[in-house]
Amino acid sequence: MIDLYSDTVTRPTSRMRQVMVEAEVGDEQRDEDPTTLALQRRIAELLAKEASIFLPSATMANAIACRLHTQPGEAVILDGLAHLLNYEAGGLAVHAHLVPRPVAGEQGRFTPEQVAEHLTPPSHFRPRPTLLACEQTHNTGGGAVWPLEQLRAVCSLARQHSLRTHLDGARLMNAVVASGVPPAEYAALFDTVTLCLSKGLGCPMGAVLAGSAEAIGRARTLKQVFGGSMRQSGMLAAAGLYALQHHVERLAEDHANARRLADGLATMSGLDVEWPIETNMVFVTVGRTGLTAVDLMARLRSAGVRGSVPGPYRVRFVTHLDVSAGDVERAVAIVRSVVGEFPIHPSRGAASAANR
């Protein structure tokens, strides 16, 4: 099986497992795990923030960020396709009692003008927007990278209106490798930043939330509230430290493999690849095969390729550490043989908003 379901499917490499086994550990809940403390310092340095906190998942990091920056009944401005809004089981409502103010961005990226539409004058009957959240790279937007200047523009408008800013940088390092912009430059625009270790970085689990010492101090309490405090988490933090050293630059290979995959899929007349391919994700509209995304994916799966189904006629393939250039060539051949069995239909579900 060539598993292009997500970059979450990576298994820790044998060298990563080795550093995990050998990690120095203590009781994390008492702030006595030396490897966790080292990871937190390392991430704070990387993002040029005062502090960071190790958490079980990026979902928890985002939930804690929402709690840190808002009061119940306030509004968060974010892209309509944001992970925070669509893939965290309503966490922003459940944990922070927030009202979402979704923006129809372009591949997840929006403009100051779109933010301004939600910055209505103060009123005692409208939910008050107090948080702006951006996603870098934007997952459902196609692995898209926000240009630094566009992020700067939306964040500076938000600040002028006293909003707090949070970056869901689950795949921030993919953006860093794709753009050449240092991570701290993106992070400087935001009060808090989530970084996931279990995506392209290849760790078995874990994420980090970075911000000011004051914010992370409060996050420490919220981590306990959420049941996210751990014990000998140094074994997991060691994987994070290893990944930051060995698995960042190689993300460029994943990006090259995604382009290779997209080029291959684009030669098949039933498939509409969503360009451009900026990082490690390839989204494809499949309506012209006459099949739904679920049907096509079931057939691909029995032929040996796994992907995901983000929309009725939309499929997603993600490249990662455990997928080689050769695997991509094989995946293209498998998709070609499956798609080739079906006559081409007129455009159905072609790259439309509803398809997402």
| Interface positions with ligand PLP (CB under 6 A) | 57-59, 62, 83, 135, 139, 168, 170, 196, 198-199, 207
Give CA–CA dist 145/86, Å, rounded.
19
Q: Three-state SS for 55? A: strand
CA 228 to CA 67: how far, in whole Å? 14
| Residue number with CB closer to ligand PLP (174 or 289) | 174
Buried (b) or exposed (e) across 81-94, using 16+ Cβ within 10 A? bbbbbbebeebbee
First CA to last CA distance, the chain: 26
The residue among 175 and 268 lying less far from ligand PLP, judged by its C-beta, is 175
Give the nearer residue to ligand PLP in terms of CB position, either 198 or 285: 198
Q: In what order do the strands lie in the sheet with 75-79?
A: 51-55, 207-211, 192-196, 164-169, 129-135, 75-79, 99-103
Q: How far is the CB of 95 from ligand PLP (least distance, A)?
A: 13
In whole angstroms, how close is the CB of 175 to ligand PLP at the nearest point? 11
Distance, in Å, from the CA atom of 280 to the CA atom of 270, rounded to the nearest integer, reads 22
Q: How far is the CB of 241 from ligand PLP (least distance, A)?
A: 17
Q: How far is the CB of 247 from ligand PLP (least distance, A)?
A: 16
Minimum CB separation of residue 80 from ligand PLP in Å reads: 14
- Helix, strand, or coil (residue 163): coil
Q: Which is nearer to ligand PLP, 243 or 338 (CB)?
A: 243
Pick the closer one to ligand PLP by CB: 19 or 281: 281
Cα(356)–Cα(351) distance, rounded to whole angstroms? 8
> In the bound complex, which residue of the shown chain has the CB atom lying closest to ligand PLP?
58
Name which of 134 and 332 has its Cβ closer to ligand PLP: 134
DSSP string, 263-290: HHHHTSTT-EE-S---SSEEEEE-GGGT
Nearest approach, Cβ of 240 to ligand PLP (angstroms)? 12
